[in-house]
């Protein structure tokens, strides 16, 4: 006879359990655990729709506007509401699993936080393409500037706006 195991301080769904529901690659594991901690701390329950959004967002791994994500998600989860997308993305940001950007547009863009290093963006003004890059030289000089001003750095954001290679070629 199988005994029912009683777990005392649960509230916290195990990563294994949620992983069965949210299919996720190993590299996003730490992000997922962060999310679970966050959910637990807030007493949030599991939800299919939220899980679907998160799973999709993680797999796609792009710089999404709410509108874009909404349009893609609704193909998978019909009846999904705009609010749920907004709420879920806000949750991810609060948990540190996502971050926001403003690439010169009105809409906020959301991107998954899973890369080890800080990275910045080249933003093509013609086609909207976003190219990520990391540059230690830039980082170093940024830190030097901060130190000069006795400024305690919490975060930084660098965007280089212009025309991508492809769009330059297409022009002529």
Partner DNA sequence: ATTAATAATGAAAATGAAAGTCAAGATCAA
Partner DNA sequence: TTGATCTTGACTTTCATTTTCATTATTAAT
Q: Which residues bind Zn ion (CB under 5 A)?
A: 124, 126-127, 129, 164, 167
Query: Which residues within the stretch 133-152 sit at the binding site for a copy of itself (CB under 8 A)?
Result: 133, 135, 137-138, 140-142, 144-146, 148-152
Residue 50 binding result from DNA, Mn ion, Zn ion, none, given CB thresholds of 5 to 8 Å by partner type: DNA
Q: Which is nearer to Zn ion, 47 or 65 (CB)?
A: 65
Question: Quick one: which of 31, 54, 111, 123 contacts Mn ion (CB under 5 A)?
Answer: 111
Contacts of 31 (CB under 8 A, 6+ apart): 58, 97, 112, 113, 114
Angstrom distance (rounded) from CA 36 to CA 90: 15
Quote the DSSP letter at residue 32.
H
CB of 68 to Zn ion, least distance (A): 17
Q: Does 26 bind a copy of itself (CB under 8 A)?
A: no
Residue labelled with tokens 């609010």: 83
The answer to whether the beta carbons of residues 110 and 69 sit under 8 Å apart is: yes
The answer to whether the beta carbons of residues 14 and 42 sit under 8 Å apart is: no
The answer to whether the beta carbons of residues 46 and 21 sit under 8 Å apart is: yes
Q: Which is nearer to a copy of itself, 76 or 160 (CB)?
A: 160
Question: Quick one: which of 2, 20, 45, 172 contacts DNA (CB under 7 A)?
Answer: 45
The answer to whether the beta carbons of residues 101 and 63 sit under 8 Å apart is: yes
Q: Does 119 bind a copy of itself (CB under 8 A)?
A: no
**Integer Rg of the chain from CA:** 20
Q: Does 90 bind DNA (CB under 7 A)?
A: yes
Residues found near DNA in the complex (CB under 7 A):
6, 10-11, 13, 39, 43-50, 65-67, 77, 79-84, 86-88, 90, 106-108
Residues found near Mn ion in the complex (CB under 5 A):
111, 132
């Amino acid at each position: 006879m199988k005994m029912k195991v009683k777990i005392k301080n649960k509230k916290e769904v195990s990563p294994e359990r949620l992983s069965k529901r949210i299919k996720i690659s190993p590299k996003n594991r730490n992000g997922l655990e962060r999310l679970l901690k966050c959910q637990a701390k807030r007493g949030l329950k599991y939800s299919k729709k939220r899980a679907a959004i998160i799973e999709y967002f993680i797999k796609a791994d792009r710089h999404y506007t709410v509108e874009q994500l909404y349009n893609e998600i609704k193909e998978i989860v019909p009846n999904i509401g705009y609010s749920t997308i907004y709420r879920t993305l806000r949750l991810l940001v609060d948990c540190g699993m996502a971050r926001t950007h403003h690439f010169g547009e009105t809409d906020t863009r959301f991107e998954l936080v899973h890369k080890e290093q800080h990275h910045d963006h080249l933003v093509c003004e013609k086609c909207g393409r976003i190219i990520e890059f990391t540059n230690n030289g830039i980082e170093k000089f940024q830190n030097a500037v901060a130190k000069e001003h006795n400024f305690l750095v919490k975060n930084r954001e660098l965007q280089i706006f212009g025309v991508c290679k492809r769009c330059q070629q297409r022009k002529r």
